[in-house]
Amino acid sequence: MYHWAAADEGLRVAAVRNWKRAIQIAVEMDCELVNTEFTGQSDNPLVCENQFMRSMDELIPEFEREGIKLDIQAHPYDFCERNNESVDIIRGLDRDWINYLYAAPHTFFYDDGVGDIASMLKYAGSKLSHLIIADTYNHKASSGLRYIVNPPGVVATVHQHLDIGQGEVNWDAFFGTLREIEFDGIATVSVFAWEDRPDESNRMMLERVKSELCR
């Protein structure tokens, strides 16, 4: 992840330089796909989106020359945090090798706390090529008081990467929709919360994902 959408032009230029080197390393490692985030800042979306587009103008020829595919996710605090708008940006780039990564632990940022996974996955449609799987709480629930942050008004963007079943993601809708649309991309487990019991967490997650997606 490099800050290719940074409002600061110096940071953006440095990010493009780093991306070019990363593309070279991917080629040297026979890596055909990389994934990343929009970056930028949610409180400065217009400037950051314009910076992102400038970076893509410079980098698209590099990706195409080397034959490297790219999956992009919207991450909390990126200049674009919402599902449909992120998919629209990716579609607007109009390259079949640039696709969308849906991160389940970001679900409640993607549609402002509604959590309508089925609708969002279907909106992504053919551009959906990659999943990050972990649970999270709805930060918009309880009148926005699911998390209490001090001091009041402090700038903070909070979410979790929990085991399935420990948060509030609708997993029946998630897996059911993936089967309905016949998803055939990459599915990655990404639990960060349990370094003290990684084997138990990973085995449980793998078993659940395989049981849902390998029917």
CATH number of the structural domain spanning residue 144: 3.20.20.150
Residue 149's pLDDT is what? 85
Residue 79 lies in a domain: yes
Find tokens 């990459």 and name the residue.
186
For the stretch 155-164, pLDDT in tens is: 889 999 999 9
Residue 18 lies in a domain: yes
pTM of the shown model: 0.95
Tell me the residue type at 138.
N
Strand partners, 95: none
Confidence of residue 117 (pLDDT cuts 50, 70, 90): very high
Confidence of residue 153 (pLDDT cuts 50, 70, 90): confident
Residue 26's pLDDT is what? 98
For 144: left if phi > 0, alpha if psi spans -120 to 50, otherwise beta; the answer is left
Residue 102 pLDDT greater than 90, yes or no: yes
What is the 8-class DSSP label of residue 4? T
Structure token pair of residue 199:
């084997």
Residue 142's pLDDT is what? 92
Domain total for the chain? Answer: 1
Confidence of residue 148 (pLDDT cuts 50, 70, 90): confident
- Sheet strands side by side (includes 98-103): 33-37, 69-73, 98-103, 128-133, 186-189
Confidence of residue 147 (pLDDT cuts 50, 70, 90): confident
pLDDT > 70 in the chain, percent: 100
Q: Which domain holds residue 186?
A: 9-213
Residue 4 lies in a domain: no
Residue 1 lies in a domain: no
Q: Which residues are within 8 A (CB) of 86 and not within 5 positions of it... i.e. 6 or more apart?
A: 38, 72, 73, 74, 80, 100, 110
Q: What is the mean pLDDT of residues 188-214?
A: 95
Residue 157 lies in a domain: yes
Residue 160 lies in a domain: yes
Residue 3 lies in a domain: no
Closest alpha carbon to 109 in 80, 151, 130, 133: 80
Q: Which residues are within 8 A (CB) of 137 and not within 5 positions of it... i.e. 6 or more apart?
A: 108, 146, 147, 159, 160, 167, 168
Residue 51's pLDDT is what? 98
